[in-house]
């Protein structure tokens, strides 16, 4: 009898889920339409909640997640539940107060890109996944403040890293701009564990806190130079205690190939220090894009100049297919 009640309950929940999906999916597809267009705050809220619940489901339900500093995975579940509850409350609060302001017109945005690559290269390009990967880089904000999650998986569906950035534009002008940011980062790796006498492969999350500083100067509308500094501190046993990542970059944002096609080119020289180990590297990203078209192709290379960092390779490269979207929201 109890089994029959459970089946009935599961069937009812499935019907409710299907009804919700039939309502949300068209809005989700419309939300990602290109080129950008004005959309309602309701559509944006639906998309944000879908993304948050997707990540929460992966952290709590899908992966046998364990932190090295904790004996039981329930600790991670409690942390992740509180974290996503806080994000959800802040998101709802933002939109609730946003709806009340109608004296002036204000514009918010939700933009980002989704890329599929043959080799996932890390935010610090000395390291890579060495496997095909998919990356979601999103940005939601208004005026100077933004929330920018950077979520990466292998194409097999295993999580690689999740960075939850908060960024603020300290200086904005025609020539000089400077951003600051901070993030909670989760880096994932698999490890064999003995559970109830059997050896199983589990996914372990290692936590990092990081901050960044990014001043840059525009030489003209298509060329800029800048210095990027990232400091990261590992919170769990087995992580890197102190990471210093400093780059000098030049960005060519629009190199004309024809009336429709153009290149973006971003060469960088950088210094990397991981606790007692350090090294110098060169990296560059080249992108081929078409005007008013959401798909582009990019390639990143990383070359070691001089380094004693364990695990850094002499040469890394990849090729990626990138889908870009940009939506704006106007409060009336």
Beta-bridged to residue 32, according to DSSP, are none
Res 67 pLDDT > 60: no
Considering the domain boundaries, does residue 40 fall inside one? Answer: no
In whole angstroms, give the CA distance from residue 216 to residue 178: 6
Closest listed residue to residue 294, CA positions, set 48, 112, 46, 154: 112
Res 144 pLDDT > 60: yes
Angle between helices 74-98 and 41-57 (to 10 degrees): 180
The SS3 assignment for 6 reads helix
Model confidence pLDDT, tens digit, residues 213-262: 999 999 999 999 999 999 999 999 889 999 999 999 999 999 999 999 99
The alpha carbons of the chain give a radius of gyration, in whole angstroms, of 22
Considering the domain boundaries, does residue 301 fall inside one? Answer: yes
Considering the domain boundaries, does residue 5 fall inside one? Answer: no
Backbone angles phi, psi at 224, to 5 degrees: -140, 155
pTM over 0.95: no
Virtual CA dihedral for 65, 192, 69, 204, nearest 10 degrees?
-30
**Total count of domains within the chain:** 1
| Least confident among 165-169, 188-192, 205-209, 314-318 | 188-192
Do the beta carbons of residue 285 and residue 297 sit within 8 Å?
Answer: no
Considering the domain boundaries, does residue 316 fall inside one? Answer: yes
Q: Name which residue leads in pLDDT, 177 or 101.
A: 177
Q: What angle do CA 114, 115, 117 make, to 5 degrees?
A: 160
Backbone angles phi, psi at 12, to 5 degrees: -65, -45
Res 153 pLDDT > 80: yes
In whole angstroms, give the CA distance from residue 282 to residue 203: 32
Q: What is the predicted pLDDT for the residue at 51?
A: 53
Considering the domain boundaries, does residue 101 fall inside one? Answer: no
Q: What is the predicted pLDDT for the residue at 86?
A: 54
pLDDT > 70: what percent of the chain? 68
Res 180 pLDDT > 80: yes
CATH number at residue 112: 2.40.230.20
Which domain, by its residues, includes 202?
Answer: 108-331
Computed over every residue of the chain, the mean pLDDT equals 79
The SS3 assignment for 100 reads coil
Beta-bridged to residue 291, according to DSSP, are none
Considering the domain boundaries, does residue 95 fall inside one? Answer: no
Considering the domain boundaries, does residue 135 fall inside one? Answer: yes
Considering the domain boundaries, does residue 263 fall inside one? Answer: yes
């Amino acid at each position: 009898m109890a089994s029959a009640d459970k089946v009935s309950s599961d069937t009812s929940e499935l019907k409710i889920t299907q009804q919700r999906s039939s309502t949300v999916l068209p809005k989700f597809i419309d939300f990602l339409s290109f080129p950008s267009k004005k959309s309602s705050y309701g559509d944006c809220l639906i998309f944000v909640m879908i993304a948050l619940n997707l990540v929460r489901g992966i952290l709590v339900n899908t992966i046998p997640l364990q932190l090295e500093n904790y004996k039981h995975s329930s600790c991670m579940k409690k942390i992740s539940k509180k974290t996503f509850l806080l994000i959800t409350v802040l998101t709802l609060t933002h939109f609730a107060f946003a709806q009340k302001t109608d004296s002036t017109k204000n514009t918010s945005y939700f933009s980002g890109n989704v890329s599929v690559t043959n080799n996932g290269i890390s935010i610090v390009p000395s390291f890579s996944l060495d496997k095909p990967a998919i990356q979601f880089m999103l940005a939601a904000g208004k005026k100077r403040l933004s929330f920018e999650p950077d979520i990466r998986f292998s194409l097999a569906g295993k999580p690689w890293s999740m960075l939850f950035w908060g960024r603020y534009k300290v200086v904005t002008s025609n020539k000089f701009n400077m951003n600051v940011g901070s993030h909670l980062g989760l880096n994932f790796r698999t490890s064999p564990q003995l559970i109830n006498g059997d050896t199983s492969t589990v996914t372990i999350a290692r936590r990092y806190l990081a901050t960044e500083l990014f001043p840059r100067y525009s030489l003209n509308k298509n060329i800029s130079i800048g210095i990027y500094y990232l400091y990261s501190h590992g919170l769990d046993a087995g992580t890197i205690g102190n990471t210093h990542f400093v780059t000098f970059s030049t960005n060519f944002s629009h190199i004309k190939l024809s009336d429709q096609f153009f290149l973006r080119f971003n060469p960088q020289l950088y210094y990397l220090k991981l606790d007692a180990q350090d090294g110098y590297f060169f990296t560059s990203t080249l992108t081929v894009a078409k005007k008013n078209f959401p798909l582009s192709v990019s390639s990143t290379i990383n070359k070691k100049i001089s380094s004693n960092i364990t695990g850094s390779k002499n040469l890394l490269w990849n090729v990626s297919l990138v889908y870009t979207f940009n939506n704006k929201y106007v409060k009336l």
